[in-house]
Amino acid sequence: MGSAVNKYWIATRWQDSIVCVTYKTIFEPFRIHSVEPIRLTTKEERQRYIKEVRLNVFSLAAKDVIIDLLTDSGTGAMSRDQWAAIQHGDESYAGSPSFAIFKEAVQSLFDYKHIIPTHQGRAAEKILFGSALKTGDYVFSNTHFDTTRANIEYVGANAVDLVIAEGRDPSAIHPFKGNMDVAALRSAIEEVGPENVPLVMITITNNSGGGQPVSVANVREVSKIARSYGIPFIIDACRFAENSYFVKIREEEFKEASIEEIVKETFSYADGMTMSAKKDPMGNIGGWLALNSDKLADGARNLLILTEGFPTYGGLAGRDLEALAVGVREAISEDYLNYRITSTHYLGEALDEIGVPLVKPFGGHAIYIDARAMLPHIPPLQYPGQALAVALYEEGGIRASEIGTVMFGQQADGSEKAAAMDLLRLAIPRRTYTQSHIDYVIEVIANVHARREELRGLKITYAPPQLRHFTAEFEWIE
Ligand code: F0G
């Protein structure tokens, strides 16, 4: 127990946030077994490609991207054992043995009565909210992820974020910046009436807040409050393993615990979970909803049959269920998590040394550049995050996503206002890139940083009425 922490080079110990080292090399705890070639392109080619897609990186062909940091969702590498398990998949419409294997693996970590497979995380959200919520209800969370919020609002309910104050400040230092403000939770429930709060949620790690972890102590307190009102408490669990690793490193009570013990303890305080298995469970597709309540599970299963499929496959093939059964166990390997968090923080530390402004402390799955601070000459309504995204692509073929005014600035009445922050997210796919790839990313960003004053703002020439970041078109401002 705990041995892996100091075994090689690590650790991202709290308040010691330089990657402290025995060896500087990040040790990827796997051999590469099958390779996917990366097509190298010239800067001239990339300038042409990005112009052709009107400066929107979502519209680029993936083959024209050298290092793709758009998301860590579904983009990881599966292991040899996952590929082997795929051959074991049974595609029976009902009662597939692959479902039994999947269910047993999920329940080995998450001890809930009902395990309902779905094609991805947002499908689990949709069937949960579709059956549990009605118009005017409230769901409180630390920070609802976009799809979670959208699915709550779709049924006419209100999604309210109650993260602690530090969680809203990009430079505030706190070991568990994803924690929920428990005093605010209690008064919010009192204010709207517990009868109007069918669910309390918490997202671990808190993606929208920068991939920040939540402590077990906080989960315990939130659970106590929810249960005191008889409200089911549900964890949005996509990055449960990364969260548990942060708990081990930063929460005194758990420094000797195994990751498995931390996972079990965390989830023992909840009444269910939604999962995007495209993150920590190492799937390229998949998700699940887990619940203890027969009533909630019945309602969700009825919707599942309507929109996803029979309850023993959800929206998945039997082979997908088999791959996830293996992946969910691989996710809790301490050597893997050590590498995962250390390599993310290695990127953060290097950019910090160069002077690139970043959201701190670094989260688990991504590093966020504060583009507004890096490019103070580009006002928010000229989209500094997007300008930086385009510059990283042109410079080195790196694709990252703007999380700022392009994504959040569009108002319901058609007007536009600056988002709270203009960030660029560098999300790291699991087990996909090596330290040399990350060194390349650092070099490219250093070059862009050195000539940051030359970067120009953008204007939007086309935008759809909603979710404009996916398809908007841009031009440079002269
Ligand atoms: N919850 C969280 C915290 C997420 O980060 C995501 C997806 C979802 C739910 C939805 O899961 O994509 O399987 O339907 N996040 C991805 C991202 C898309 O890039 O951060 P999904």
Joined tokens for residue 76: 């990881």
- Nearest to residue 351, comparing CAs of 398, 285, 414? 398
CA of 457 to the centre of ligand 1 (A): 29
Take residue 128 and report the two structure tokens written for it. Answer: 């949960």
Candidate of 147, 163, 205, 285 to mutate for ligand 1, largest count of ligand atoms within 8 Å of Cβ: 147
466 pLDDT band (50/70/90 cuts)?
Answer: confident
Find the residues whose C-beta lies inside 6 A of ligand 1: 71, 73, 120-122, 145, 147-148, 203, 207, 236, 238, 276, 278, 287
Distance CA 367, CA 238 (A): 17
CATH architecture, domain defined by 2-65+333-476: Alpha-Beta Complex (3.90)
Burial class of residue 293, CB neighbours in 10 A (0-12, 13-18, 19+): middle
For residue 57, give both structure tokens: 């990186």
Domain with CATH 3.90.1150.10 in the chain: 2-65+333-476
Residue nearest to atom 4 of ligand 1 (CA): 145
Which percentage of the chain shows pLDDT scores above 90?
Answer: 88
Digit-coded pLDDT (tens) for 290-330: 999 999 999 999 999 999 999 999 999 999 999 999 999 99
CA distance 16 to 8: 16
- Number of the ligand 1 atom closest to the C-alpha atom of 206: 3
Of all protein residues, the one whose alpha carbon is nearest to atom 8 of ligand 1 is 121
Q: Which pLDDT belongs to residue 5?
A: 36
Taking CA atoms only, the protein residue closest to ligand 1 atom 18 is: 73
Question: In terms of residues, how long is the chain?
Answer: 478
Ligand 1: distance of its center to the CA of 276 in Å?
6
**Which mutation among 148, 204, 207 tests ligand 1's pocket best, with the greatest number of atoms within 8 A of CB?**
207
Helix (H) or strand (E) holding 104: helix 97-109
The answer to pTM > 0.85 is yes
Question: Cβ neighbours of residue 409 under 8 Å, at least 6 residues apart?
Answer: 380, 381, 416, 417, 418, 419
Class of domain 80-330: alpha beta
- Quote the mean pLDDT of the chain: 93
- List, for residues 180-198, the tens digit of each pLDDT value: 999 999 999 999 999 999 9
Is residue 279 within 8 Å of 238, Cβ to Cβ? yes
Angle between helices 240-250 and 259-268 in degrees, nearest 10: 110
CA–CA distance, 183 with 245 (Å, rounded to integer): 26
Neighbours of 163 (CB within 10 A): 23
CA distance 98 to 171: 46
pLDDT at 23: 60
